[in-house]
Chain A
């Protein structure tokens, strides 16, 4: 076992250094001499013949483009392989990938959250990655995110989920259930009790999901290995109980579809609420604004564990890349290494996907998110998921606003989603 591993690493080091040598790297780093000899003797005139002029193209959305550019610059410095990072809008990046790959215009690598993976697999645009033993170094949740139907398609670097954020200046103890939380927060006399971002047209099933799962009504049933089936599981008694809960919260004014993302953020920043259910993307801003905040798991509303969706951020290869070796070099021997994972964490400020790096965390905020996400479930990556969001959100709007009777509306929604899935 150890033997095999050392071979892998030696071979990998050899490749890296060959790349470095070819690209005109200065060879100043420490293991050069040893490995250099190996590769030179092994490949004969390899370095003489080979001007390595490969260029990798990576697509990243606006939230990740800076991070990817920084890390790619490092890769270029190490190997001499040029990397061109192309920014895409987060709303379109996944679908553009599907369009572009068959035309030969796709990037070599796409950086994205994992929830588009099912669609990419169904369309045959994403390539596989053989992580070997490195796979064990990632947290199970992270690995699950880049795995689809038993096959690994990418290298994860961070995981992300929502949690309950508390303004410590307003309150310092947090009860264990949602109802107690609301009672406590209402007693504080702030403008809002708990902020959960909504949208007047689409509610926000993502931000409400921890509450929903606490009623035992997950969106899809999971099979034994934890992967999602396309069987809808949010109907039934539990689902109806959650719908009734939504209606009650809406009537009490705790949930309000008019509290959009930016309203909620501004209100929390202004100290108008002690609690907000949100993700790390907002908390950075809260801290910058000088708020003293703690990050806690979302309390249960229905008695069971509140499970937020966990999103896995990863690097995924194009199935059709002209630079398959370079892509593999980048993914397996660069991104999937503890050093680079640590840098990605420092640049991106998200919970690292590699266990070793995550254990070294000493940031209480990220630890909080990590803890809240420990009970989380991967965001479904199956293509059916996209059929669900719109029905789901529209139904939640009607229920929260009291426009439709809760149980009935929820049941209709479940039927509609089932019909939509069947029609595809």
Chain B
């Protein structure tokens, strides 16, 4: 459907407004809705010593002081930690989730339905109160595998991967089902193994959903702080979310300017990632594959 649109002659006048133009109006309103609070943060980040909520004159002062000051903090280390943790988590989630979705979509086995239901229900446990259990679990694990104990970034990734099969699996499962089974049947007749079908055929066909799930789990891991706060204990290991939370909870010194600058910078990887993945998310690989 995408390709046809480009072939059409350029729309003009009323018709353009009716079919396309109004979308720009919606877009502008939507963007205003989206970025107003963020402009507020941006304004605070450019206001040295400023507060987050104290001033309504946006961009009253513009100075890069807060940004240069970040260099003296652990911001760089935190950002690196966040990127590594979120990337590994996203990759792990995509791989394990896709594998599970493949199994659910292409095989019928005992306990399949109950596993699927169970996966969904397990995710509904209220996370807020599990920190005690996670703390004690990592405490014991750390005595056996020190690298999986408290204050380890790898341990945090492992905890996040515990949620790899969940909502995301369902998202992918639905998508896998839209890939015609005739494709794998054909490949099978050609002598491909289930692993070959999975890695070389299916994964390529479902690339859009892999991109979406990858992005979603990256964002989730990147912004998560309730569990990270329990697991990571030293400054060097903090993620951005934990570090920023700590700044935000500093009620007395309230380094809002610094905080806002960090938050602005922290949002950049997400936007970059989205721009990068947009091609996959939006390119409509599936429909092309069906035709080809």
Chain A residues contacting B283 (CB-CB under 8 Å) are: none
Quick one: closest B residue to A61, CB to CB?
A: B250
Of the residues B53, B233, B250, contact of A263 by C-beta under 8 Å: B53
A261 touching B135, Cβ below 8 Å: no
In the bound complex, how far is the Cα of B252 from the Cα of A381, in angstroms? Answer: 20
Chain B positions within 8 Å of A92 at CB level: 229, 249
Interface string of A86-112 (1 = CB under 8 A from B): 110111100000010001110000000
Q: Are B55 and A266 interface neighbours, CB within 8 A? A: yes
Taking the complex as formed, is B51 at the interface, i.e. its CB lies under 8 A from any CB of chain A? yes
The digit string for B246-262, where 1 denotes a CB below 8 A from any CB of A, is: 11011111101000000
User: Quick check: B54 and A263 within 8 Å, CB to CB?
Assistant: yes
A-contact bits for B45-60, CB 8 A (1 contact / 0 none): 0000111111100000
- The proximity string for A residues 43-55 relative to B, scoring 1 for CB distances below 8 Å and 0 otherwise, is 0000000000000
Query: For residues 209 through 264 of chain A, which have their beta carbon under 8 Å from a beta carbon of chain B?
Result: 260-263
Shortest C-beta distance, B174 to chain A (Å), equals: 39
Instruction: Give the bracket for the number of chain A residues in contact with chain B.
Output: 20 to 34
Mark interface residues in B227-239 (1 if CB within 8 Å of A CB, else 0).
0010001110000
Q: Which residues of A contact B86 (CB under 8 A)?
A: none
User: When the two chains form their complex, are residues A89 and B246 in contact, meaning their CB atoms are under 8 A apart?
Assistant: yes
Given that A89-B245, A99-B135 are known contacts, is A265 also in contact with B51, CB under 8 Å in the complex? yes
Q: How near does chain B come to A345, taking the closest CB pair, in angstroms?
A: 18
Asked if A261 and B150 make an inter-chain contact with CB atoms under 8 angstroms apart, the answer reads no
Flag whether B136 is at the interface (Cβ < 8 A).
yes
Interface string of B86-121 (1 = CB under 8 A from A): 000000000000000000000000000000000000
Known: A103-B136, A260-B53, A262-B51. A90 touches B250 (CB 8 A): yes
- Cβ of A62 within 8 Å of any chain B Cβ, yes or no, is yes
Contact A105 B150 (CB under 8 A): yes
Q: How far apart are B60's CB and chain A's nearest CB, in angstroms?
A: 11
Interface flag for A63 (CB, 8 Å): yes
Residues of A within 8 A of B251 (CB): 90, 261
With a CB–CB cut-off of 8 A, which chain A residues contact B139?
103-105
B1 lies within 8 A of chain A by Cβ: no
CB of A285 within 8 Å of the partner chain: yes
Given A103-B135, A262-B256: A62 and B51 interface contact (C-beta under 8 Å): no
* Count, chain B residues at interface, CB 8 A: 26
Bitwise, B131-172 to A at CB < 8 A (1) or not (0) is: 010011001000000000010000000000000000000000
- Chain A residues near B250 (CB, 8 Å)? 61-63, 89-90
Shortest Cβ distance from A65 into chain B, in angstroms?
8
Chain B 31-44 interface 0/1 with A at a Cβ cutoff of 8 Å (1 = within): 00000000000000
Contact of A263 with B246 at beta-carbon distance under 8 Å, contacts A62-B253, A99-B132, A103-B139 already known: no
Contact A266–B252 (Cβ < 8 Å) = no
Do the beta carbons of A89 and B249 come within 8 Å of each other?
A: yes
Q: What's the nearest-Cβ distance from chain B to residue A101, in Å?
A: 12
Closest chain A residue, CB of each to CB of B52: A262
Which residues on the A side are within 8 Å of B256 (C-beta)?
Answer: 262
**A267 — which chain B residues lie within 8 A by C-beta?**
54
Query: In chain B, what residue has the closest Cβ to A263?
Result: B54
| Chain B residues whose CB sits within 8 angstroms of the CB of A285 once the complex forms | 49
A364 to chain B, nearest CB (A): 21
CA separation between A357 and B234, bound complex, in Å? 33
Contact between chains at A86 and B233 (CB < 8 Å): yes
Mark A110-126 against chain B: 1 for CB-CB distance below 8 A, else 0. 00000000000000000
Bound complex: CA of A262 vs CA of B233, how far in Å?
A: 29
B49–A89 CB distance below 8 A: no
Residues of B within 8 A of A91 (CB): 249
Residue numbers in A under 8 Å from B55 (CB-CB) = 266
User: How far, in angstroms, from A266 to B247 measured CA to CA in the complex?
Assistant: 19
Contact B246 A86 (CB under 8 A): no
Contact A87 B235 (CB under 8 A): yes
In the bound complex, do residue B253 and residue A281 qualify as a contact, i.e. CB atoms below 8 Å apart? yes
18 more contacts with CB within 8 A, not counting A62-B247, A265-B54, A279-B252, are A62-B249, A62-B253, A63-B252, A63-B253, A87-B235, A89-B249, A89-B250, A90-B250, A91-B249, A99-B132, A99-B135, A103-B136, A103-B139, A104-B139, A266-B50, A267-B54, A285-B49, A289-B49
Interface residues of A (CB under 8 A from B): 61-63, 86-87, 89-92, 99, 103-105, 260-263, 265-267, 279, 281-282, 285, 289
Closest 8 CB pairs of A and B: A262-B51, A266-B54, A281-B252, A262-B54, A89-B249, A91-B249, A89-B246, A62-B250
18 A–B contact pairs at CB < 8 A?
Answer: A62-B247, A86-B234, A87-B246, A89-B229, A89-B246, A90-B250, A103-B135, A103-B139, A105-B150, A261-B251, A262-B52, A262-B54, A262-B254, A263-B53, A265-B51, A267-B54, A282-B252, A285-B49
